[in-house]
């Protein structure tokens, strides 16, 4: 599977709805400094609920709304939609493992979308909702689904600027934790820790 499209509406520097197609394999995004390349990665972290552990570059969620639209006393909505492409064989393989691939009416079998909407009210308060294939869900439900695709909040599916230098300056125990995470052991260690807490 791969991410085939990221659509941003009023998210950070993207004032109007912008659809960014990503190719299977390798896609390079190039552009001048400050043109919004890293904002696309921020959008991915935002939509997939990975921002908490990965440190998206914004102090508060409302800062993510495009400034041209975020006027005081006006309600404004920003959203990011991430579309995953799943090959038919992948869908079949997952189903045979008992993993349900939710698909909305009329949608291609091999398409799976995650959307997150951020709504800032006239009072400046905000709400945020996640959707899987158009159906609202909470963050833990989303994480549960993403885990089936081996996408983890603590994982290295998204490698950010600074991650590499971070790894170089780690001590051996911290580096071992990364290997545990990549090997999939980390998930079980967390489950053990949670069970011990209870
Ligand atoms: P570099 O090559 O320097 O890494 P980049 O292409 O990665 O640059 P980004 O960091 O993605 O650039 O984009 C930064 C731009 O996004 C800045 O110009 C900043 O003003 C703009 N920006 C960030 N948040 C908002 C917002 N809420 N509304 C409008 N613009 C925003
Ligand atoms: Mg950048």
23 pLDDT more than 60: yes
- The secondary structure element, H or E, covering residue 183 is helix 172-183
Helix (H, G, I), strand (E, B) or coil at 81: strand
**Percent of the chain beyond pLDDT 90?**
47
Average pLDDT estimate for 48-66: 80
For the 2-152 domain, the top CATH level (class) is alpha beta
State in Å: Cα 176 to ligand 2 middle. 28
Ligand 1 pocket test: which of 16, 34, 60 has the largest number of ligand atoms within 8 Å of its C-beta?
A: 34
Average pLDDT estimate for 102-107: 56
58 pLDDT more than 80: no
pLDDT band at 101 (very low <50, low <70, confident <90, very high): low
Higher pLDDT, 97 or 69: 69
* Closest ligand 1 atom to 32 CA: 2
Q: How far is residue 168 from each of residues 17, 70, 124, 178, 179, measured CA to CA in Å?
A: 38, 40, 41, 12, 14
39 is an annotated ligand-binding site residue: yes
* Predicted ipTM of the assembly: 0.97
State in Å: Cα 136 to ligand 2 middle. 31
* Closest ligand 1 atom to 31 CA: 6
CB 57 within 8 A of CB 86: no
pLDDT tens per residue across span 144-187 = 889 888 898 878 888 887 788 888 899 999 999 888 988 888 88
Token duo for residue 117? 């909407």
Average pLDDT estimate for 13-40: 94
- Residue 8: nearest ligand to its CA? 1
pLDDT band at 93 (very low <50, low <70, confident <90, very high): confident
Ligand 1 pocket check for 16: Cβ under 6 Å:
no
81-85, 160-164, 193-197: which range is least confident on average? Answer: 160-164
Ligand 1 pocket check for 69: Cβ under 6 Å:
no
* Closest ligand 1 atom to 42 CA: 11
- Backbone torsion region of residue 124, taken as left when φ is above 0, otherwise alpha when ψ lies between -120 and 50, otherwise beta: left
38 is an annotated ligand-binding site residue: yes
Average pLDDT estimate for 125-145: 92
Domain-wise residue ranges, the chain:
2-152, 162-198
Angle at 11 between CA 10 and CA 16, to 5 degrees: 35
CB 84 within 8 A of CB 111: yes
CB 10 within 8 A of CB 78: yes
98 pLDDT more than 70: no
User: Helix 172-183 and helix 185-197: axis angle, to 10°?
Assistant: 100
């Amino acid at each position: 599977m791969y991410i085939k499209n990221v659509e941003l509406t009023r998210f950070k520097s993207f004032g109007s709805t912008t659809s960014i197609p990503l190719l299977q394999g390798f896609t390079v995004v190039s552009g001048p400094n400050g043109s919004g390349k890293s904002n696309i990665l921020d959008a991915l972290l935002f939509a997939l609920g990975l921002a908490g552990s990965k440190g998206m570059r914004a102090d508060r969620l409302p800062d993510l709304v495009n400034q041209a639209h975020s006027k005081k006393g006006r309600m404004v909505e920003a959203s990011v939609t991430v579309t995953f492409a799943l090959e038919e064989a992948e869908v079949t393989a997952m189903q045979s493992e008992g993993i349900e691939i939710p698909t909305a009416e009329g949608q291609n079998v091999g398409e799976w979308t995650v959307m997150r909407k951020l709504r800032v009210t006239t009072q400046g308060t905000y709400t945020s909702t996640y959707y899987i294939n158009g159906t609202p869900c909470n963050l833990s439900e989303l994480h549960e689904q993403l885990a089936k695709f081996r996408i983890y909040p603590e994982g290295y599916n998204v490698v950010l600027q600074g991650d590499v230098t971070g790894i170089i300056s780690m001590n051996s125990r911290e580096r071992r934790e990364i290997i545990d995470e990549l090997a999939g052991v980390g998930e079980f260690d967390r489950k053990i820790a949670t069970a011990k807490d209870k």
